[in-house]
Amino acid sequence: MAPIADEHRTRRERQIMDVLYAEGPSSAACVLKSLPNPPSYSAVRALLRILVDKGEVRYQKQGNRYIYRPTHSRRKAAKSALSRVLNTFYEGSLENAVAGLLEVSDRGLTDAEWTRLAGLIDQARTEGQS
């Protein structure tokens, strides 16, 4: 099952997905505590039900509560989020996005990290992904 494109999620649905990826499997009450300017508990439950219906979230009953988790891996979600940031803030330019990340980093890269990045760039160039 392919993830639903972010443009088909509301802002609150995206926030809930962000919480589930950051916190891991969570109850509706835990999701509520992690949301900025949280809506009511009933609204969170309704939004989780919508995400279940969309196939984005699944749940398991544990005792008297439901525990929710994303149906897609964190890696797939990360790729989708990075794609959204790339298109929204960098006009689709990977070069500008990488430059922006290097500018805002509050710590420098180690020699090993520079070497790994250089290797990834060389690999992408060789595979025709540049």
Please check whether residue 18 lies inside any domain of the structure: yes
For residue 78, which amino acid is it?
Answer: A
Please check whether residue 31 lies inside any domain of the structure: yes
Q: Is 31 exposed, middle or buried (0-12, 13-18, 19+ CB in 10 A)?
A: buried
Please check whether residue 80 lies inside any domain of the structure: no
Please check whether residue 81 lies inside any domain of the structure: no
Interval 83-100: pLDDT, tens: 888 999 999 998 999 888
Range of the domain at 42: 6-70
Please check whether residue 61 lies inside any domain of the structure: yes
Please check whether residue 32 lies inside any domain of the structure: yes
pTM strictly above 0.85? no
Number of compact structural domains in the chain: 2
- Dist CA 13 CA 118 (whole Å): 37
- Dist CA 114 CA 112 (whole Å): 5
Q: Based on the fold, state whether residues 13 and 63 are members of the same structural domain.
A: yes
The number of angstroms, rounded, from the C-alpha of 47 to the middle of its chain's C-alpha atoms is 17
Q: Based on the fold, state whether residues 19 and 65 are members of the same structural domain.
A: yes
pLDDT score for 109: 85
pLDDT score for 74: 86
pLDDT score for 80: 82
Q: Based on the fold, state whether residues 63 and 12 are members of the same structural domain.
A: yes
pLDDT score for 66: 97
Q: Based on the fold, state whether residues 15 and 47 are members of the same structural domain.
A: yes
CATH classification of the domain holding 21: 1.10.10.10
Please check whether residue 110 lies inside any domain of the structure: yes
The ranges of the chain with pLDDT < 70 are: 1-7, 129-130
HSE (CB half, 13 Å, CA atoms) of 91?
1
Alpha helices in the chain (DSSP H): 11-23, 28-34, 41-53, 74-89, 94-104, 111-126
For residue 28, which amino acid is it?
Answer: A
Alpha helices in 27-93 (DSSP H): 28-34, 41-53, 74-89
